[in-house]
Structure 1
């Protein structure tokens, strides 16, 4: 357990950051799930719109330090390829 004032403060800050980061990760996952569901439905326009809405959220996750830059880049790239494949299939 924290003993000094500084370590107590750091523990409080850590709890706060944990809650904020958890909420941000959850929000990002929700956006990703919407894209996945749109892709699964097979509707290219809905999938493209969902991806367009998800991209800023993913990028925000990078700037806030929740996700790694390359992870987000990979996710966006793969989702974009899948949405593009829907257009070619139709």
Structure 2
């Protein structure tokens, strides 16, 4: 348990940041799920639109420090390849 006032404040801040980050991560995963569902349905236009909407959300997660840059780049690349493979 935090004993100093500074440590107590950091604990409070960490709690708040964790809640914000969790909400952001959940939101981003929702957009990823929509892309996955569109790919599974086999509708290329819907999948492309969903990816187009999800991509900026993922990049914003990088700037906010929720995801690593390379992780998002890999996810976007793989999703893009899967969307293009729908024929």
TM interval, shorter chain, is over 0.9
Specify the alignment match of 2:37 in structure 1: 37
TM-score (norm 1): 0.95
Rounded to whole Å, the distance in 1 between the matches of 2:57 and 2:27 is 8
Rounded to whole Å, the distance in 2 between the matches of 1:46 and 1:56 is 17
Cα distance per residue 1:37-71 (max 9 Å; x no partner): 00000001100000000001100110000000000
Between the two proteins, the alignment pairs up a number of residues equal to: 87
Rounded to whole Å, the distance in 2 between the matches of 1:56 and 1:2 is 38
Unaligned runs of 5+ in 2: none
User: Cα RMSD over matched residues?
Assistant: 0.5
Unaligned runs of 5+ in 1: none
1:28, distance to aligned residue in structure 2 (A): 0.8
TM-score (norm 2): 0.98
Specify the alignment match of 1:64 in structure 2: 64
1:5, distance to aligned residue in structure 2 (A): 0.7
1:29, distance to aligned residue in structure 2 (A): 0.6
